[in-house]
Amino acid sequence: MFGLVRVKRMAYRGPSMANVHPADATLSLPAGRHSMGLRRLAVTEAVRGSFDQSQQAIERRCGPVLGKRRLEQLVAAASGDIDSFYQQHIPVPSSRDVLLVIEVDGKGVVMRPEALRPATQRARLAAESGHRSRLAPGEKPNRKRMATVACVFDAVPAPRRPHDVIHPPGGRSTRRRIRRGPAAIRKWCTASLLHPPEKVIADVFAQAEARDPGHQRCWVVLVDGARHQLDLIQKEAARRGCTINVLLDFVHVTEYVWTAAHAFHKVGSAEADAWVADHLTMILAGQAFRAAQEMSTQAEQAGLRASRREAVDICRRYLTGHLDQLRYDIALAAGWPIATGAIEGACRHLIGDRLDITGARWGLTGAEAVLRLRSLITNGDFEGYWIFHSAREHQRLYPSPNQQNYGLSA
């Protein structure tokens, strides 16, 4: 923070041994030339904007003390104790009647070729060998690596009815006030590009279990319907012996229904709005199978051509394939959330606002460090973590005698 500082200190020396400087331990000097204060400034700037902008901000404040490559290295090193910190972190408990909600999603990050997963690298090389001038419609450019994002939060139940969620075609009555859904309280997020989805899901379940060790509360899990994701969640719940109530994100269901509606009616027409409202109300009332049957019957009676019929069939298969996760009648009556707004917002904030900025292509180490640190700051734990990280760094650099017999309590 004050530029280059030079000090003279006493050193203890011995044959074939490294020098020992007692003053270094007293001052808790870090390894390298950059102080913990400068490292903290580097982290706070790097998680907020690009590395170029971060370096410029530090240079305006402290002068030319830090290069871009060294900045990236400091940020990566600063994220090294996050797992250890959360293993010792005790969350605030809640009463038994408060819901415990888990949400999981995935979002792609543009990576450099060497940081892609092996399957994506093979697909990229195969696409490049074709020497095509442009991609086919709907084809992915094979540049992204999927990050798994998960969050857990508490929520006070807020019972509702279908018409609190869907605007009826004839309009709502002014005599009845709209009931709002449950709000997220004490949200905790985690995300990773480096680790597989199994690790992220295990971490979010560990956080949930720390909030409810006896499994006394109602656990609600909201997902977007990805089969592999559902299998991992069910497997982790079975491993921990906890009962979970899995629901599909209602917004995803709505998108499928809207696509099916446009097979019968023009986009933006009042008929399409009424058709969607009727079928979504039916689904919210717990009649997803009936809604799927009715739209399939209507398609047969209308004699839709194959391209339009395909949209209806996709929606029907989606509904009938997830009937166990579409019990919105039970969810609304019990006051559960039915949409993944919390995790969608987390994806936009953690990834979209930093890792998905224009022109960014990431290496795996830097992207993982920034993602983990942004999650930490979003959780409101950065101040406590930095104290913990500084203590761990001191412990690594200046071990005390018999240190292996003691545990860090900072």
- pLDDT tens by residue, 48-97: 999 999 999 999 988 888 999 999 999 999 999 999 999 998 888 899 99
- Residue 406 confidence (pLDDT): 58
Task: Give the Cα separation of 405 and 117 in Å (integer).
Answer: 40
Residue 31 has φ and ψ, to the nearest 5°, of -70, 140
- Residue 138 confidence (pLDDT): 56
- Residue 409 confidence (pLDDT): 56
The Cβ-side half-sphere exposure at 321, using a 13 Å CA radius, reads 12
Burial class from Cβ neighbours inside 10 Å (0-12, 13-18, 19+) for residue 9 reads exposed
* pLDDT tens per residue, range 190-219: 999 999 999 999 999 999 999 999 999 999
- pTM, rounded to two decimals: 0.88
Give the least confident one: 91-95, 135-139, 354-358, 370-374: 135-139
* pLDDT tens per residue, range 307-350: 889 999 999 999 999 999 999 999 999 999 999 999 999 999 99
Amino acid identity, position 27: L
Higher-pLDDT residue of 384, 19: 384
What is the pLDDT confidence band of residue 46, given thresholds at 50, 70 and 90?
very high
* pLDDT tens per residue, range 229-274: 999 999 999 999 999 999 999 999 999 999 999 999 999 898 999 9
Q: Is residue 128 scored above 80 in pLDDT?
A: no
- Residue 16 confidence (pLDDT): 86
Higher-pLDDT residue of 173, 284: 284
What is the pLDDT confidence band of residue 139, given thresholds at 50, 70 and 90?
low
User: For residue 167, what are its two tokens?
Assistant: 């605007």
Domain ranges of the chain: 99-124+139-171+179-345
Q: Is residue 136 scored above 70 in pLDDT?
A: no
Q: Which residue has the tokens 């995935």?
A: 106
Most confident of 1-10, 50-59, 160-169: 50-59
- Residue 122 confidence (pLDDT): 86
- Residue 71 confidence (pLDDT): 94
Q: Is residue 44 scored above 60 in pLDDT?
A: yes
